[in-house]
Chains A and B, each alone.
Chain A
């Protein structure tokens, strides 16, 4: 199951509505210093951050091995100047992420509008099938798509990766736009119709702007999930269509290169910066 943890957090706004009673109780019932739960929490944080700290430290290690020999930027130099295959894989990843997230966003938004506002015969089928890809293990989706592509004789490559990524991205966009639509009143749409707007005008001028926060966060979630995916991509990628996770995998599998350490640090910094920007962007949209 692919879960939408990143999406949940991107959507978090600090001042959540909370029951008055609960807030009251929290204030009255202060934590003792170093309670059991706090100890576990701090231990869990150390557990969570330790691997990242080790990566950061080793990325500056002079030697190729694990033992510390001295400070050096040589792996960053390698990463930025002498890793052409890595950057090709990186751009493949970006290309797939944007195209598959874009397609998923268009189809998912339309699908959510269709399922949320309209009653029709296939509605239950559409709803069930849009939920299933999230609960099936990734291996199953990868293997079934791989056999499917072999069956229809589609050559494995960027196109098959694009198809696979769109398939697992769609449910996330669908659910996020659905959640947004649930908060809204159908009477706005009725009003638009009553005032003489046709279906197309209503959709473009009322529905889409209303859903915009859901659409944007759905798209961003899809991009992050696509950039991250290894398992499904592994089964549907052909020779010459390496994505960044596939590149990292082969680097780990066949002789670890410390360039991966440097890459990790760059990626950690990149994602933290990006998420910070996105949070502000989403807040700005929500406020508008």
Chain B
């Protein structure tokens, strides 16, 4: 082992060097720039004034319009995540119970081989004023004039759910697939109703998959940019859109940076909370096993 560990120490840095340098230059440095800019004063013609530190950008964040957008972004992300999980759970369950798992997985994934923007565009085709849905409703005589389905909170949530559904289905499927279904039978034999066996036997056992699914859907939805831009209206803008607007239109780099910091902090907090829950869960399982072994 000693000869081996000397080889190990020798080349590690050498192998990792290109990647490390790349990430430091093109990921860490840009992030640090955002941090720096968020504390600088706005330049007269856009950009920033170097050397003038101020908390102006963060003070601007207490502006009611930003508070409203932050809350709206959170609420939108929570609702969309909740609906996604609600649909994904039975889907994952059904797929795990099925004998044609590979085929069903393929069915879930095929729509997502299509370009992201094209899928948004397809929804615009469906929900638009002259779109498929209005056309259908008018033809069957349910409505006389078109309904505006697009450019509101509802259309944003609908399309977000569409986009991130497989992100929730896949981790749930793989966790449920590992679940020992004979436990459900045992619960039923012991007198539990079907819902009882689902909520008190299945759900607690697939918690880790549930956390992963929530994380995989909530984070990208919280940072959404393209969907609210294309199918949302002015009053369904999310934090990502505000950042882009401040950067490109208002040319207020410090403010764009400060909002980016908010987005980063909330995202990171979400990741940490979920990872913590998962770790706690894993520890509990280990504890139970240890106890079982002790008996």
- Residues of A at under 8 Å CB distance from B? 1-3, 5-6, 8-9, 12, 14, 18-19, 21-22, 24-26, 28-29, 31, 35-38, 40-41, 44-45, 47-52, 54-55, 58, 65-68, 106-108, 110-111, 113-115, 117-123, 125-126, 129-130, 132-133, 135-141, 143-148, 150-151, 163-164, 166-167, 170, 174, 186, 190, 193, 199, 227-228, 230-231, 235, 244-245, 248-249, 252-253, 256, 260-261, 263-264, 267-268, 271-272, 275
Contact = CB atoms under 8 A, between A and B. Distances in A.
Interface in B82-104: 87, 90-91, 93-95, 97-99, 102, 104
Interface of B: 4-5, 7-20, 22-24, 26-31, 33-34, 37, 47, 87, 90-91, 93-95, 97-99, 102, 104-126, 128, 130-132, 135, 162, 165-167, 169-170, 177-182, 184-185, 216, 219-220, 222-223, 225-226, 230, 240, 243-244, 247, 253, 256-257, 260, 263-264, 267-268, 271
Given A44-B87, A44-B165, A51-B119, A271 B113 contact: yes
A147 B230 contact: no
B132 A52 contact: no
A54 B125 contact: yes
B256 A135 contact: no
A204 to B, nearest CB: 13
A248 B117 contact: yes
A231 B180 contact: no
A169 B287 CA distance: 39
Contacts, number: 308
Nearest to B124: A252
A40 B162 CA distance: 14
Contacts of A170: 19, 22-23
B122 to A, nearest CB: 3
A268 B111 CA distance: 8
For the residues of A in contact with B, the DSSP-based class is helix
Given A14-B102, A231-B225, A245-B115, A137 B263 contact: yes
A14 B89 CA distance: 22
